[in-house]
Amino acid sequence: MRKKLLHTLGYDTEGKVVHVCNTEKGGTYTCPQCGDRIIARNGGKMQRPHFAHFKKSSLKCNGNSILHHLLLTKATEILQAHVEQKKVFTLQWSCPYCSKSYSKDLLQQVESIATGQIIQGHGADILLMGKENTPLIAIEILVNRRLTKKVIEMYDSMGIILIQIHATERSWEDVTHMLQHPYSVSFCSNKECYNFQFNENIFRREIYRQKFKCKKCGKVVDGYMVKNTSAFGLIGLDNLRDNEKQEIVSTYFRGKRATVADILVYGKCHCIPHSKGLVCMSKSDDFKEARQGKITHKK
């Protein structure tokens, strides 16, 4: 059962958030959630200081819902400002399964921010959207509650990175710190980790070509690689799978005599049986000049 927090935060006449312990006697305050008038009760002996609604609220406001509302509003404002100014917002966390630590720019691929969107019957707190309004990352601010297994699996099946933040009353003191140090992030690039295997849908495999030159005959050949990417950018390189090799053959070698066996991670030349004799063109602007320099140096 959810533990209910006391209502300790409200708006003053200037619209600023004020804690009940910092209120003035006879001051006017309103509820951040419903906008109704609230009264500061900080002189009782049986309960801690708290706000109470002057009249019964139709929204059934309580400490949990009001704190969640304020944190959600402030967090959205902070993230929106960083997106508009194209500023880096660093996220830091450790994988709970393999203890690998991460430090990533949360907003590097984010184009816009949405709040309260309904996804398969669940209202997401904050969705960070990429190009073509595609949801990349979901941020859930949890006040004395936990997400259901169904919701977690829903985000995974959609390839959306899930960030869970377990908020307390003290979270309001530094919302930026709360965002930058979440309780959990469904991301781990360690292939041996359970977190990677469970959330594998968040990674996207992209095949790309790159030019290589044979060290023996000088022939330029195409090399093929796979880039693992996510909402946090490039994760690393990977070997081609059999279906990806077949895709390369059908796409780039149509009408040519080529089989899956001809497609290696870095391509290959006919005069060299393996890829060890190839050099990346992007790493050497002038292959002949580099080779001539080696010969001169030997002499």
Instruction: Report pLDDT digits (tens) over 12-27.
Output: 988 889 888 888 888 8
> Do residues 217 and 241 share a domain?
yes
Query: What is the mean pLDDT of the segment spanning 70-86?
Result: 96
- Which run of H or E residues covers position 296? helix 287-298
Domain that holds residue 29: 9-61
Per the structure, the count of domains in the chain is: 3
| Structural domain contains residue 1 | no
> Do residues 168 and 220 share a domain?
no
- Where is pLDDT greater, at 113 or 237? 113
Distances (CA, A) of 10 to 26, 37, 48, 54, 59: 14, 9, 16, 13, 15
Long-range contacts of 208-211 (CB under 8 A, 24+ apart): 209/252, 210/280, 210/281, 210/282, 211/280, 211/281, 211/282
Q: Which of 162, 187, 202 is the endpoint of a domain?
A: 202
Q: What is the pLDDT of residue 166?
A: 95
Which segment of 38-42, 83-87, 245-249, 273-277 scores lowest on mean pLDDT? 273-277
> Do residues 197 and 80 share a domain?
yes
Mean pLDDT comparison of 28-37, 109-118, 232-241, highest-scoring range: 109-118
> Do residues 89 and 125 share a domain?
yes
Cα 167 from Cα 64, distance rounded (Å)? 10
DSSP class of 280: E
Q: Which of 151, 177, 202 is the endpoint of a domain?
A: 202
Reported as a pLDDT band with limits 50, 70 and 90, residue 188 is: very high
DSSP class of 256: S
135 has a pLDDT exceeding 60: yes
79 has a pLDDT exceeding 70: yes
Q: What is the pLDDT of residue 278?
A: 59
Cα 154 from Cα 147, distance rounded (Å)? 11
Query: What is the mean pLDDT of the segment spanning 39-44?
Result: 78
| Structural domain contains residue 238 | yes
Q: Which of 171, 202, 233 is the endpoint of a domain?
A: 202
- Coil/strand/helix, residue 205: strand
1 has a pLDDT exceeding 70: no
Reported as a pLDDT band with limits 50, 70 and 90, residue 237 is: confident
Counting DSSP H helices and E strands in the chain, the numbers are 6, 18
Q: Taking the CB of residue 51, how many other CB atoms lie within 10 A of it?
A: 27
| Structural domain contains residue 2 | no
- Where is pLDDT greater, at 15 or 55? 15
> Do residues 72 and 195 share a domain?
yes
Mean pLDDT comparison of 3-7, 232-236, 259-263, 291-295, highest-scoring range: 232-236
Q: What is the pLDDT of residue 92?
A: 97
- Where is pLDDT greater, at 257 or 288? 257
Cα 188 from Cα 203, distance rounded (Å)? 10
Q: What is the pLDDT of residue 221?
A: 74
| Structural domain contains residue 3 | no
Reported as a pLDDT band with limits 50, 70 and 90, residue 294 is: very low
Q: What is the pLDDT of residue 267?
A: 54
- Where is pLDDT greater, at 221 or 121? 121
Which segment of 15-24, 28-37, 40-49, 188-197 scores lowest on mean pLDDT? 40-49
> Do residues 249 and 287 share a domain?
yes
pTM of the model: 0.77
